[in-house]
Structure 1
Amino acid sequence: MSDPAAARGDRTRPRKGPYRRGPYRRGRPRSHTRWTTIVVVGRAFLIAAGLVTAYYVLPLDRYSARGTSVLLLAGLLAVVLVFVWEVRTIVRSPHPRLKAVEALAATLVLFLVLFASAYYLLDRSAPGSFTEPLSRTDALYFTLTTFSTVGFGDIAARSETGRVMTMLQMAGGLVLVGFAARVLASAVQAGLQRRGPVEPETGADGGDAGDPTDSEAQPGPETETDPGT
Structure 2
Amino acid sequence: MSTMFGSGWRPVWSGVGLLVAYYAFPVGWGDSPTTGALLSLALTAAGLGLLGYTMVKELDHLRHGEEIRSTRALSILLVMLVMSFSFAFFFLDLVEPDQIANLSTRTDALYFTVSTMATVGYGDIHAEGQLARGLVAGLIVFNLVVVASLVRARRIGGHSSL
| Percent of aligned positions that are identical | 29
One-letter identity of the residue aligned with 2:141? A
Shift of 1:106: 0.5
CA contact (8 A) 1:100 1:188 kept: no
Give me the whole-angstrom Cα distance separating, in 1, the residues matched to 2:40 and 2:132.
14
CA shift digits 1:197-220 (9 cap, x unpaired): xxxxxxxxxxxxxxxxxxxxxxxx
- What's the RMSD between the two structures over aligned residues? 2.9
| Ranges of 4+ aligned residues in structure 1 off by more than 6 Å | 186-189
One-letter identity of the residue aligned with 1:51? L
CA shift digits 1:173-208 (9 cap, x unpaired): 11233212244457766xxxxxxxxxxxxxxxxxxx
Higher RCO (CA 8 Å, separation ≥ 6 residues): 1
1:161 corresponds to which of 131, 142, 149: 131
Partner of 1:75: 47
Greater Cα radius of gyration, structure 1 or 2:
1
Distance 1:104 1:133, change over 3 A: same
* TM-score normalised by structure 1 residue count: 0.55
1:142 corresponds to which of 91, 95, 112: 112
Shift of 1:48: 0.7
| Structure number with higher helix proportion | 2
Partner of 1:28: none
Q: Does 1:63 align with 2:63?
A: no
Partner of 2:75: 105
Give me the whole-angstrom Cα distance separating, in 2, the residues matched to 1:143 and 1:80.
16
CA contact (8 A) 1:100 1:184 kept: no
CA contact (8 A) 2:27 2:40 kept: no
Distance 1:127 1:142, change over 3 A: same
- List runs of 5+ in structure 2 lacking aligned partners: 29-35
- List runs of 5+ in structure 1 lacking aligned partners: 1-33, 93-98, 190-229
Aligned length: 145
